[in-house]
A and B are shown apart, each in its own frame.
Chain A
Amino acid sequence: MAKCTACELLRENFPEAVLAVSDFRDESTVVVDKERLRAVMTFLKESEETLYDLVIDIAGVDTGNESPRFQVVYLLHSIKFNRRLRIKIPVAEGSTLDTVSDIWKAADWMEREVYDMFGIGFTAHPDLRRILLPDDFVGHPLRKEFPLKGDDFDRPFLVCLEEEQGNQADD
């Protein structure tokens, strides 16, 4: 198992917030309590021993039947130490997370995407709107219950057109 300095530091400094630490294929994941998200992230970015200054990505995950249902995953990179770390926050359906868009500017659009695709809200986000889908879109497509296809997906286009036109005369 690769040595994870940040995991140990987090355990020391936030014993109550670190829920689990795991390691898979040399990648470390720390599960953090959502109440301490901002404190942990600020620490990871500013502490001299971690300096995770680049946020690579923020991903939402719908676990389907686990409780809490959703996870928001932060992939961090430290340019100085050349290290990566994954922070995972479990989020219950309907609850919101604190934004980190003031800690890393990059989080702004990433959080909007998570909101767009999963419907997870971010408190104090400066501009929380849908980003990829139109504003009047209904539903959040990356949730597991969202259908993959519409009900007319496998019917020929011509049939759909005819139905739409009804019994209009065709000359």
Chain B
Amino acid sequence: MIETRSMTLNMGPQHPATHGVLRLLLELDGEIIVKAVPHIGYLHRGIEKLAESMTYPQALTLTDRLDYTSGLSNNLAYCLAVEKLLDIAIPKRAQYLRVLMAELQRIAAHLLWVATHALDLGAMTVLFYAFRDRETILEMLELITGARLTPSFIRVGGLAADIPESFLPRVKEFVDDFPKRVDEYETLLTENIIWKKRTQNISPLSGEECISYGVTGSILRASGVYYDVRKAYPYSSYEDFDFEIPMGKNGDVYDRYVVRLKEMRQSNRIVRQVMERLPAGRVTADDAPQVTPPPKEEVGKDIAALIRHFKIMEQGFKTPRGEVYASIESSKGELGFYLISDGSNKPFRMKIRPPSFINLAALPKMIEGQMVADVIAAIGSIDIVLGEIDR
């Protein structure tokens, strides 16, 4: 009789295809995965704890460092939660610009995803194409926010500043061009026989399994469940725009790829609509002087404005006692902030609902019974960002 035994393989934390410091303990029977145990926390910075010691405007900077591929989306989710707590209304122009930035950020995040995911599976060309276009977006965002990675630009009560004049022409150029770029990625991958063999029927999840595991975002929709926060609980005027939610049906790696590519096209559609309908007006809330700092010109001339500016920067603002949950559809899934306020100027408790964390919990279910080589495809298809998982 042949003696057989299972082997334990340690994948990561330093592994190019784990997209950060994720460690997987794989128990193998030959090349088949019997059991997979993810180990996380290598990037834990205690963001939820730190937030309790910071004023509301200060804690905003922490959110940039969650999912660092989409800082503006994180800013947006946090600001929506604080604004819900304060119960203040945001002017339409600011809401539209927030949508514009969030959608550009989603395209950038999806481009990063398609680049690295394809690279993991051996298709290197896509990386150069996708990074070229991602660079265009980052440059545009840099033009408004001044930063590529950690913008902190969406502020409680509106935006940090209005957009410069040169911004919209550049967006227009990009928006007109982008559908052709997506076609280019599709010619490289969608009908590519190697790509299909590596992704079709790999690590499938059914709709029920996704729901049970709490999976949200593109993975859930690739399994045929219609749930998108932008449609379910429209925020920041998403109800004003016309867009579709792409759906898959098999819930495998290939369907997730198809859904995300279609999402980029839809995001592009939204950006175009925002650009065409952008209303004039202020970008900060009018009726909330305790929250929004005065314009820079006034600060230099008016002593009262100067005092107000320093008060907000130094002490922040107090929020009413209570608790709220606000969420957005980030590029990874439902990103939510659950805030509890005790009436002071610092959050009493800030719980982040990180989509990657919860989606990653379904990874063992996805890969058990599959081959080792498919683990990389599965991890790539979840689109994890460890900054968000470990917080």
Contact residues of A with B, CB < 8 Å? 24-25, 27, 29, 53-57, 59, 61-62, 73, 75, 79, 82, 84, 86, 104-106, 108-110, 117, 130-134, 141-142, 146, 148
Q: How far is the CA of A24 from the CA of B53 in the complex (A)?
A: 24
Q: Which of A25, A56, A79, A86 contacts B84 (CB 8 A)?
A: A25
Contact B361 A109 (CB under 8 A): yes
Contact B322 A82 (CB under 8 A): no
The 5 closest A-B pairs by CB, nearest first: A106-B214, A132-B41, A59-B351, A109-B361, A57-B353
Contact B214 A134 (CB under 8 A): no
Contact B211 A53 (CB under 8 A): yes
Closest CB in chain B relative to A100 CB, distance in Å? 12
Q: Which of B209, B323, B334, B340 has the most CB of A within 10 A?
A: B323
Q: Does B232 contact A (CB under 8 A)?
A: yes
Closest CB in chain B relative to A9 CB, distance in Å? 21
Contact A24 B334 (CB under 8 A): no
Closest CB in chain A relative to B343 CB, distance in Å? 13
Within 8 A of A (CB), among B331-378: 334, 336, 338, 340, 349, 351, 353, 357-358, 361-362, 365
Spot the interface stretch: B44-52, B114-122, B130-138, B281-289.
B44-52
Contact residues of B with A, CB < 8 Å? 40-41, 44, 46, 48-50, 53, 84-85, 87, 209, 211-216, 225-227, 232-233, 322-325, 327, 334, 336, 338, 340, 349, 351, 353, 357-358, 361-362, 365, 390-391
Given contacts A56-B353, A59-B349, A134-B41, contact A75 B361 (CB under 8 A): no
Q: How far is the CA of A110 from the CA of B360 in the complex (A)?
A: 12
List 6 interface pairs A-B (beta carbons < 8 Å), by A numbering. A53-B212, A75-B325, A79-B226, A82-B233, A105-B213, A106-B215
The residue of chain B having its C-beta at the shortest distance from the C-beta of A104 within the complex is B212
SS class of chain B's interface: helix, strand, loop or mixed? mixed
Contact A25 B324 (CB under 8 A): yes
Q: Which of B49, B213, B361 contacts A146 (CB 8 A)?
A: B49
Given contacts A56-B334, A79-B211, A104-B214, contact A27 B44 (CB under 8 A): no
Q: How far is the CA of A7 from the CA of B70 in the complex (A)?
A: 37
Closest CB in chain A relative to B333 CB, distance in Å? 11
Closest CB in chain A relative to B27 CB, distance in Å? 15
Contact A142 B49 (CB under 8 A): yes
Contact B214 A141 (CB under 8 A): no
Closest CB in chain B relative to A94 CB, distance in Å? 20
Which residues of chain B are near A84, meaning CB under 8 Å? 233, 325
Q: With contacts A56-B327, A105-B214 known, what are 6 further pairs, Cβ within 8 A?
A: A25-B324, A57-B351, A109-B358, A132-B41, A132-B390, A148-B49
Contact B84 A55 (CB under 8 A): no
Q: How far is the CA of A149 from the CA of B153 in the complex (A)?
A: 28
Q: How far is the CA of A26 from the CA of B211 in the complex (A)?
A: 25
Q: How far is the CA of A108 from the CA of B362 in the complex (A)?
A: 10
Q: How far is the CA of A24 from the CA of B321 in the complex (A)?
A: 10
Which residues of chain B are near A79, meaning CB under 8 Å? 211, 225-227
Which residues of chain A are near B216, meaning CB under 8 Å? 54
The residue of chain A having its C-beta at the shortest distance from the C-beta of B50 within the complex is A148
Q: Which of B49, B85, B338 contacts A73 (CB 8 A)?
A: B338
The residue of chain B having its C-beta at the shortest distance from the C-beta of A60 within the complex is B351
